Amino acid sequence: MNILVCGEIFSPNLGDGLIAQAIQKLVNDVAPGATVRLYDFAGRTGLIELGSSLSDGERSKPSSLRTLHRSVYGSSSTYASALNLIQHYSPHSARDRRRRLARAMAECDRAIIGGGQLLQDDRLAFPLAIHSVVTEAQKQLVPIDYFSVGVGEHWSKLGAYLVRRSLLADNVGAVMCRDDLSATRLRGLCPDASAKIGVTYDAALAL
């Protein structure tokens, strides 16, 4: 059996990578013969040094426009959400993501979205990524579960809508939260998915 673990696998936050390793370990403990592969929401294939994609000149002397962008992105959730939405659906980004997802899903028998505070609005970044994963899994008839996910408290209308769609898809099985508070929040956000929602433990504890 081939299992695809989806999440913030190679984010600059090293804790996300450790959680992914913990889920790999748990799957291998339950199904020793399974092949577990990883899919990073952002398409990253390994850990990189923060800022390493910039040239030395850009790092030492950021442009006024870049400085303004960073300032507004950090202070305005509306600006950040709009930018994330545009980037997600831009032709190049959407085409690249669909190709990566199609390849990943074509080689797996089951998928898991798991670990960390993934069910949060995050200026639409996580809802958009999760919705893409669930949609591609649905196209390829791949069953998918959520495991050990944390749930945020504050949601935009679009973020909440995307997450509800991602929970109610017919290929989604169990939705296991990492604590009682997360499960309570998720049932409040999507009452129609209550039968799927349960509580497990934080996957990081498996390390």
Q: In what order do the strands lie in the sheet with 35-40?
A: 35-40, 2-7, 110-114, 144-149, 172-177, 197-199
> Could you tell me the pTM of the whole model?
0.87
**52 has a pLDDT exceeding 80:** no
pLDDT at 14: 82
Q: Is residue 75 very low, low, confident or very high in pLDDT (cuts 50, 70, 90)? A: low
Highest mean pLDDT among 57-61, 65-69, 126-130: 126-130
CA 141 to chain CA mean position, Å = 20
**82 has a pLDDT exceeding 50:** yes
Per-residue CA distances from 159 to 39, 40, 137 (Å): 21, 20, 20
Interval 149-204: pLDDT, tens:
999 999 999 999 999 999 999 999 999 999 999 999 999 999 999 999 999 999 98
